[in-house]
Amino acid sequence: MLRYQWEDAVRFWNSKKGEVLRSQIWTKVGRLQLFEITHKKKDGSPMTSEAGEIMEKLKDKKAEYEAATSTDSSVNLENIDNRIIIEVLGPERYGRVRFQGSGVTPTQYFGSGSQQYMPSGSQAKAEVQRLRDQIAQMQANTVEQIAEVQRKYEELQQQLRAEAAEREAAAAAREAEHRKKYDDLQLQLQQMMQMFQQSQKPPS
């Protein structure tokens, strides 16, 4: 595809006609099916272990709803995909719809009067608690990271001090060795001078 063709395709996709086409595609493909399509490799295996676990939970929940319809005719399967996703993954976040990309808002997908994406009081409390727990965990992780950095810093300081002490000790040992050699040479020189002086004296 040439560059101008790609640009034309992008402009069409973001146009009103493109929006209609996207809505038709989304209507034909269920959200559960879309999740599987976008989270599987070419060989059909999940992209990640987490995606595989979510797929299993979604399948199990859908099986529960289908089993319920066989024994209870009052169970309403309308928007079952949306309900299953909310039960497994939690309520929709404001301003976006899962698996539909950044350009799709809840109002566009569910309709202006729908409450599919609106969390209930208990769900909102659970979401708040989840966020609080997440913040607390992040704070705990930060404290642990700071403590780890502090520990490594202290270890490095100790290592540097030990290396400096070793260098000082080695330098002192070398200096002592050099001084000893100097003293030995000086003593030898004195002895040689004495022997020379004695050899110069006339015999008595």
**How far, rounded to the nearest angstrom, does the alpha carbon of residue 22 sit from its chain's CA centroid?**
32
Decide: 32 and 81 in contact? Cβ < 8 Å.
yes
The residue type found at 92 is: E
Cα gap 64→83, rounded to integer Å = 12
| Regions of the chain where pLDDT drops below 50 | 112-118
| Per-residue confidence (pLDDT) for residue 117, from 0 to 100 | 47
Domains of the chain, residue spans = 3-117
Read off φ and ψ for residue 46, nearest 5 degrees: -65, 150
| pTM of the shown model | 0.36
| Per-residue confidence (pLDDT) for residue 79, from 0 to 100 | 64
Cα gap 133→9, rounded to integer Å = 44
Burial class of residue 43 (count of CB atoms within 10 Å of its CB; 0-12, 13-18, 19+): exposed
| Per-residue confidence (pLDDT) for residue 152, from 0 to 100 | 92
